[in-house]
Amino acid sequence: MSEKSVTRSIFCGFADSVARFGEHPALVVNGERLSYRQLSHKVVALASVIDSVEDSYPLVGLLAHRSVNAYAGVLGILGAGKGYVPLNPKFPPERTRSMLLLSGCRTLVVGSECVSQLPKLLPRLEQSLTVILPDVSDLASISSEFSNHRFVFAGDISQASPHSFCTDIEGDAIAYLMFTSGSTGVPKGVPI
């Protein structure tokens, strides 16, 4: 019987950078500049919300593109001890839906730049999702139209209680699941 290898998570490296370089620039995207400390607040709040969702599944979908929430989403998902499934908003909704179904994700983080995708993406999803919208105050129309899904808005996230997410992880844990078309044109997940 062999022991599983344990390694330090990527999130721990980020936490070290926050401690050492808190006021230094960590991210500049779309003209918005965040220090490590500012980014950390977003990341830890998001990780806390993901952690609070009662879902033992190891993967979380991320539908965001070149935004603060795209980068905070990656770190927040990893901080919650999950792997992420990057979903490209430029893909047709059918392909994104297929990747969600194939990956088995039950939680989806969506940046405001991708909210317009939800009415095309959610209708034919049979499994119930928790949809986390970290920079959207409220979308009553979406919430009522897709009542089989749970929506977590920015106000819900800011009230989340942050705690330490720097833990060791198993060496064979999935950091992310990348989909490739391969030779068939059908999305195939490759765990990294």
Number of domains in the chain: 1
Per-residue pLDDT of 14-52, as tens digits, reads 888 998 999 999 999 989 999 999 999 999 999 989 988
Q: Which residue range is the domain that position 69 belongs to?
A: 9-164+173-191
How far apart are the two ends of the chain, measured CA to CA in Å? 25
The pLDDT of residue 83 is above 60: yes
> Higher confidence at residue 109 or residue 169?
109
Q: What is the pTM of this model?
A: 0.89
Using alpha carbons only, what angle is made at residue 133 by residues 128 and 137, rounded to the nearest 5 degrees? 125
Q: Is residue 2 part of a domain?
A: no
Q: Is residue 4 part of a domain?
A: no
Per-residue pLDDT of 139-178, as tens digits, reads 778 888 898 999 999 988 865 555 566 666 777 788 888 8
Question: What is the number of other CB atoms lying within 10 angstroms of the CB of residue 109?
Answer: 29
Return the CATH number at 56: 3.40.50.980
Is 82:50 a contact under the CB 8 Å cutoff?
yes
